[in-house]
Structure 1
Amino acid sequence: MLSERALPPQPSLPERRRGGRARRAAGGAGATKAGLVLRRIPTYELLGEEALLALEEQADWILSEIGIEFRGDAEARRLFAAAGCSVEGDRVRFQPGQATALCATAPAEFTLHARDPHYSVALGGDHLVLMPGYGSPFVTDLDRGRRYATIEDFRNFVKLAWMSPWLHHSGGTVCEPTDIPVNKRHLDMVHAHLTLSAKPFMGSVTAPERAADSIEMSRIAFGADFVAENAVMQGNINVNSPLVFDETMSGALRTYAEAGQCVCVSPAIFGGAMGPVTPAAVAAQTHAEAMAGIALAQLARPGCPIVYGSFHNTMSLKTGSLTFGSPEANLVTLVLGQLARRLDVPVRSGGGQITSANSADGQAMADSTSAMWATLLSGANQVWHAAGWLEGGLTMGYEKFVMDLDQCGAMLRMIEGMEVNAGTLTPESYREAGPGENFLSTRHTLQHFATANFIPDISEGGAFERWAEDGCRTVEERANDRWKAMLSAYEPPPIDPGVDEALTEFVARRKAAMGDDWY
């Protein structure tokens, strides 16, 4: 139960840190359900204790000396004032250590329930959850090129995410369905997540009332009593970096928190624009902004499940254009994993398979792989933008989506680590094959032929002559075939007819009440 009355006594921050370290040291035990993936490789600890303390002290300095503005949200400011923060106008200032203390009621781990319990996921600890890209107004494919996204595109990406074994989450605004009015499109998006998929999903945050609609639809799908006691959806709360929460974001944050649903607080800092240019400053500012949002969620409902998020990258100081997968951004990703673990809360990576490339070319894959490696090594619990991202997030690519799925599968295989035992060392294979012979026909190879190595769907090798005879087809062309085949084979997950009917009726009724206004 998430209510304040049922909240168990909270351990001190040092105890929470020790508990988190103990869980990570114990290692994972493998996946037990489709949605539960455990990391078996260690995280990369970039900074030592002295440097981490310096970043935490800088975050405290920002919160106490500069403060965070909660513009237009009197209720948020009232909650902070009641908690002992200094409030002047829109600006809220914290005493050193106060924000950290306010974050202490956030759970270290929690379950995000899916409509089909088989796909429920755990966030926190050693768990890892991958989800598709988020927020693109455009889509692209080899047949039709770049264009504004429609609800058909949105539904297609929900279907592709549902079909992939490498994505554990349906996502949120995977792309913006621009053919539906802004004030109504959230209804169609949540309806698609709840009916075309049975994996966890994200609701709307573009207005508090749209967040409330999303929660109400989840109550229809899961049952009001279940939603009252469990997290079944997430809301993505972007900070207007530097150091501002606008009324829309903080209002949506409180709406989700008050309902006991997961709040993802995501500062968005591009070094040199929304924060100083140096990685250390970006890390400290992200920590300050994230703690302020987490604190508000805990004041709205102690014990509310949260995810410490970030979306940080660099920019070209020559042109002002954004860059992704850069070494500086990757360093910040690694450090934020450390800072979040010291708070002992689940962390959403700042990376994923992200790129500023305009097509699914070599640059796109180099950027994406660079960012994704840092993401996984950072110890992220939830990875957004794991599939489809192009053009700095402006575009979701169909071919890029399924190319990224192959990379997701390969990287998930990597985090399983290596088992060393009699079965994997297989001394009998040496007796069977002997010196100078190959192992292809040994019993061990035949027994493990289908599972020994990760097998991608799109990548292929082989002789140049065979590739030439097949038309010299590129990986992007093969990906074009792949996403079409997936959509052709799509089958919707089962849903109770009464729930389906109730969701459809709710969407129709809410749309009718909104009239014809596009905004």
Structure 2
Amino acid sequence: MSEPSTGRRRSRGKREARDGAPGQNPHLERPYIKRGIPTYDILGEDALQQIEATADRIMAEIGIEFRDDSDTVEMFRKAGGEVTQLDDTRWNTKFAPGMIREILKTAPAVFTQHARNPANNVEVGGDNVIFAPSYGSPFVMDLDKGRRYGTLEDFQNFVKLGQMSPWLHHSGGTVCEPTDVPVNKRHLDMVYAHMRYSDRPFLGSVTAPERAADSVEMCRVLFGADFVDQNCVIMGNFNTTSPLVMDGITTQGIREYAKAGQGSIHLPFLLGGAVSPLTMAGSIAQCLAESMVSCAVAQLERPGAPVVLASFLSSMSLRSGSPTFGTAEPAVGSLVYGQLARRLNLPLRCAGNFSTSKLPDAQAMQQAMMSMMSAVQCGANYLLHSAGFLDGLLSMSYEKFMLDLDLCGALHSYYDGVVVTEDTLGFDALAEKGPGEHLFATAHTLRHYKTAYYDSALDDNQPWETWDEQGEIDMATRANTRWKAQLAAYEAPGMDPATDEALKDFVARKKASMDDAWY
């Protein structure tokens, strides 16, 4: 299958120049990370089997409640599910142990999501790692204007900032809610923004089945209908309604993507003690059950449709009832969930740069690091929320976005591990001048100095006196300066004018066919 012709290929060298990162970057030829370190597996076989057995018991003895979608219920009935109708719009469905696992055998272990720039295609699953921005915040914030409702301009800004960074591989989805556009129309503007201002893969709308269908149809305009029919070019990020409920908007949306052969991410959002057991093992078992059933919806609609098993494990402040993010217990839970995903041979999404801090401060980055490293170590393949997450996901922060991008850059090197070759062992560096001599000018140093270490664009590593003389500027302020400079330097990736006009026409016609709805 040939690649779609949707715009010129943008060189990775130009991306580096626009990002402004000093030195050479050996990762720029790579549109995603290839894991060079092992996963961290913390549970033994007996414990993993206990969790899987509890997930099976949940599905077999308690069941999943489906709402407002009799067609999905009928698919499960035909597949062997035990269906009990609760009322006109609700059905409890139970699944014998092993049934859902059998259905999931048709799901691919690895799949390609195509970008309009083929150089930015990503491989989802296996040893591959993809960083994507944060998702879903109704508010945005920055040091200049504070916290406010997100707008379409903010949405476009974050797409542009993501496009300019070499440390993200995916444009994401609802990077913030553009609340100045009617609810029933904003998906069109969001999908168009990803298509026009980025040339990376992206997520489509999931808030209504017809909006999912619009997202897929816009991809047919961008890539061509034949290409979309045979390749994954878009994914939807779907939440179950925990505990143990799937509503019709979700199941019908999953099926819209699946019947078009497109990808879907299946995510229970669990708050321990509120919508899942307070103890982490119980939350993990519930998460596994819900995500597996959700993935099975896509397989029953179209066997072989790409799916991503997912988890969003969260703790809760038991004094206030507020969600807490970036805490230790969910981080350890992600490590376990990674083991379970590998046993199912499915791609995994979990964790990210989470924080409940209200500012891009020490708390923000401490919590972010705790959560993000759990995704790194557990073997997650698709890391949504890699940049911008603040205020318990209620706010997308411009400064946190830049801080997180810098961390993502460092993680590219972390994922590489330690490469051991005759050259990297550096014997010649020591032998060239011998004991007691510095190595600054050795051939080995000159050969590697541009690529040996990650060179942060935001860290201040100067002596205290120099930092003091330059105004004692903190990292959040440096991030504020950087995002503004990045936006000022942004250049949109090329797009065929006829394709752009066709997309604009689609959006205009769809909007004209609908009255504004703000709910």
Superposition TM-score tier, normalisation by shorter sequence = over 0.9
Asked whether 1:338 is paired with 2:339, we answer yes
Q: Is the 8 A contact 1:67 1:91 kept in 2?
A: yes
In 2: Cα distance, 1:204 partner to 1:412 partner: 29
1:38 to 34, 39, 54: 34
**Comparing 85-94 with 429-438, which one deviates more in the overlay?**
429-438
Cα offsets for 1:265-299 (capped at 9, x unmatched): 00111111111101100110000001100111100
Tell me the equivalent position of 2:368: 368
Contact 1:40-1:415 within 8 A present in 2 as well: yes
Residues 384-406 of structure 1: CA distance to partner in whole angstroms, max 9, x if unpaired? 10000001100000000011001
- Write out aligned runs for 1:98-109 (5 A): 98-109=99-110
Checking the alignment, whether the CA contact within 8 Å between 1:203 and 1:235 is kept in structure 2 is yes
Q: CA, structure 1 residues 239+331, in 2 after alignment: closer, same or farther (shift >3 Å)? A: same
Q: What's the counterpart of residue 15 of structure 1?
A: none
Question: What is residue 53 of structure 1 aligned with on the other side?
Answer: 49
Kept in 1, the 8 Å contact 2:315–2:330? The answer is yes
For residues 255 and 98 of structure 2, the distance between their equivalents in structure 1, rounded to whole angstroms, comes to 23
The aligned amino acid for 1:385 is H
CA contact (8 A) 1:135 1:175 kept: yes
Correspondence for 1:387: 387
CA distance in 2, matches of 1:420, 1:78: 56
| Offset of residue 32 of structure 1 | 9.4
Q: Does 1:500 align with 2:500?
A: yes
Aligned partner of 2:4 in structure 1 is none
| TM-score normalised by the chain length of structure 2 | 0.93
CA deviation map 1:129-183 (0-9, x unaligned): 0000000000001111111000000000000111111100000000000000000
Decide whether the 8 Å contact of 1:33 with 1:119 is kept in 2: no
Structure 2 equivalent of residue 479 of structure 1: 479
Residues 432-453 of structure 1, C-alpha deviation per residue, up to 9 Å, x if partnerless? 2321221112121122111111
Q: Say whether residues 1:402 and 2:402 are aligned partners.
A: yes
1:288 aligns with 2:289: yes
Give the aligned residue type for 1:52. L
CA distance in 2, matches of 1:302, 1:58: 26
Deviation at 1:31, TM superposition (A): 6.8
Q: Structure 1: how far apart are the matches of 2:277 and 2:417?
A: 37
Who is 1:73 aligned against?
69
Say whether 1:317 aligns with 2:318: yes
- Residues 33-86 of structure 1: CA distance to partner in whole angstroms, max 9, x if unpaired? 532321010001111111111111000000010000111111110100111101
Which stretch of structure 1 is more off in the superposition, 440-449 or 299-308? 440-449
What is the DSSP-based 3-state SS (H/G/I as helix, E as strand, rest coil) of the residue aligned with 2:65? strand
> Per the alignment, in what secondary structure is the counterpart of residue 449 of structure 2?
coil
Helix, strand or coil: the match of 2:112?
strand
**TM-superposed deviation, 1:219:** 0.5
Partner AA of 1:80 in structure 2: F
Size of the aligned set, in residue pairs, is: 490
In 2, the alpha carbon distance for the partners of 1:87 and 1:279 equals 29
1:478 CA drift (Å): 0.4
The one-letter code of the counterpart of 1:272 is G
Question: What is the letter of the counterpart of residue 438 of structure 1?
Answer: H
- For 1:418 and 1:430, how far apart are their aligned partners in 2? 19
Superposed, which structure 2 residues align to 1:112-123 within 5 Å? 112-123=113-124
Distance 1:244 1:263 in 2: 18
Matches within 5 A, 1:264-303: 264-303=265-304
TM superposition shift of 1:91: 1.0
Q: Give the match for residue 433 of structure 2.
A: 433
Q: Normalising by the residue count of structure 1, what TM-score does the alignment of the two structures yield? A: 0.93
Contact 2:326–2:356 (Cα < 8 Å) also in 1 = no
Shift of residue 332, structure 1, vs aligned partner: 1.0
Letter in 1 for 2:100: A
Residue 200 of structure 1 corresponds to 201
In structure 1, the partner of 2:182 is 181
2:6 aligns with: none
Counterpart of 1:20?
Answer: none
CA distance in 2, matches of 1:344, 1:516: 44
Aligned equivalents of 2:365, 2:28: Cα separation in 1: 31
Q: Say whether the 8 Å CA contact 2:209–2:253 is kept in structure 1.
A: yes
Alignment-mate amino acid for residue 282 of structure 1: S
Question: Is the CA contact (8 Å cut-off) linking 1:171 and 1:202 kept in structure 2?
Answer: yes
Per-residue CA deviations over 1:352-402 (Å, capped at 9, x if unaligned) read: 101010011100000000111111000000001000000110000000001
Note the alpha carbon deviations across 1:201-221, whole angstroms, 9 max, x for none: 000000000000000000000
**8 Å Cα contact 1:297-1:304 kept in structure 2:** yes
Deviation by residue 1:318-338 (Cα, 9 ceiling, x = unmatched): 111211221210111001111
Q: What is the SS of the residue equivalent to 2:83?
A: strand
- Answer whether contact 2:33 2:415 (CA < 8 A) is retained: no
Alpha carbons 1:106, 1:304 under 8 Å: kept: yes
Unaligned stretches of 5+ residues in structure 2:
2-25, 86-90
Contact 2:27/2:412 (8 A) holds in 1: no
